[in-house]
């Protein structure tokens, strides 16, 4: 691994996560880099248009980083395949519908259709969350039992009750969908898109305020979700 390239991305990712401007000394402390090294890299990123410095000497990432990510997401084949199915599920349920894909031990949110009566979510398009904490991630891991325990043990900083997580994934595998309350006050139901012969890497989820998800309402959402993921998988299997 080229150290200079790795350090550049380390700084850029730190700035993206920070959101607000960050001073050089704080960046150096957070990344473990010497101030002189961080300053040199920031100068290069600034010249390339990925970083800007405001009048108070704070650094922040520019929209150029977003442009790259947005271009990759727009061309992602799973996002294109899911578009019509997400719209249909959104109309049927009237709730927020999300598309996620597995990326390492996490899921990344590729698309999200927000309900007319929105609630406050911890996730947005582009968010990366440990797979075992989300309904869609649990649904994917339930379909990939060979990697589930390793992924559960890798979650930091919060330790998980791994046996309990694995039992939950077994139950999700049996019934075909997973549940999660990752966002406070919100119930999410996720189902993997199981295509023939390929590793399972995508899922759809429906999220709604917990008080709206009665047993009857949950059953209706599950039925619509499973039907949609099955039809999406079938469409992706066609030559």
For residue 157, is the peptide bond before it cis, meaning its omega torsion is within 30 degrees of 0? yes
- Fold identical between 3-67 and 76-237? no
Determine the distance from the C-alpha atom of residue 44 to the mean position of all C-alpha atoms in its chain, rounded to a whole number.
29
pLDDT at position 239: 65
Q: Going residue by residue through the chain (239 aa), what tens digit of pLDDT does each one get? A: 788 899 999 989 888 888 778 899 988 888 999 999 999 999 999 999 999 988 778 998 888 888 888 888 777 889 999 999 999 999 999 999 999 999 999 999 999 999 987 677 778 888 889 999 999 999 999 998 888 888 888 887 677 888 999 999 999 999 999 999 878 889 999 999 998 877 789 999 999 999 989 999 999 999 999 999 999 999 987 76
Domain 3-67 CATH (choose: 3.40.50.300, 1.10.10.10, 3.40.1080.10, 2.130.10.10)? 1.10.10.10
Starting at the edge strand found earlier in the chain, the sheet holding 96-103 runs: 128-130, 106-113, 96-103, 202-209, 186-192, 178-180
Per-residue model confidence as pLDDT tens digits over 32-51:
999 999 999 999 999 999 99
Q: Residue ranges of the domains in the chain?
A: 3-67, 76-237
CATH class of the domain whose range is 76-237? alpha beta
Write down the pLDDT at residue 17: 82
Q: Are 154 and 105 in contact (CB under 8 A)?
A: yes
């Amino acid at each position: 691994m080229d150290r200079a390239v790795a350090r550049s991305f380390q700084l850029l990712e730190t700035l993206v996560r920070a959101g607000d401007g960050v001073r050089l000394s704080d960046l150096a402390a957070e990344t473990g880099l010497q101030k002189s090294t961080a300053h040199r890299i920031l100068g290069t990123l600034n010249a390339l248009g990925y970083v800007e410095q405001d009048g108070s000497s704070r650094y922040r990432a520019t929209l150029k980083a977003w442009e790259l990510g947005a271009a990759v997401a727009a061309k992602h084949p799973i996002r294109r395949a899911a578009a019509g199915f997400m719209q249909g599920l959104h109309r049927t349920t009237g709730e927020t519908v999300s598309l996620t894909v597995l990326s390492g031990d996490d899921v990344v949110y590729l698309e999200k259709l927000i309900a007319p009566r929105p609630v406050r979510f911890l996730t947005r398009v582009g968010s990366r969350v440990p797979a075992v904490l989300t309904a869609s991630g649990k649904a994917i891991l339930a379909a990939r039992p060979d990697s589930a325990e390793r992924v559960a043990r890798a979650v930091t900083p919060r330790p998980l009750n791994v046996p309990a997580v694995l039992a939950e994934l077994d139950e999700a595998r049996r019934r075909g969908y997973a549940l999660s309350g990752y966002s406070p006050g919100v119930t999410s139901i996720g189902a993997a898109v199981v295509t023939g012969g390929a590793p399972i890497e995508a899922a759809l989820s429906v999220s709604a305020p917990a008080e709206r998800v009665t047993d009857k309402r949950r059953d209706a959402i599950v039925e619509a979700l499973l039907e949609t993921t099955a039809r999406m998988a079938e469409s992706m299997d066609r030559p």
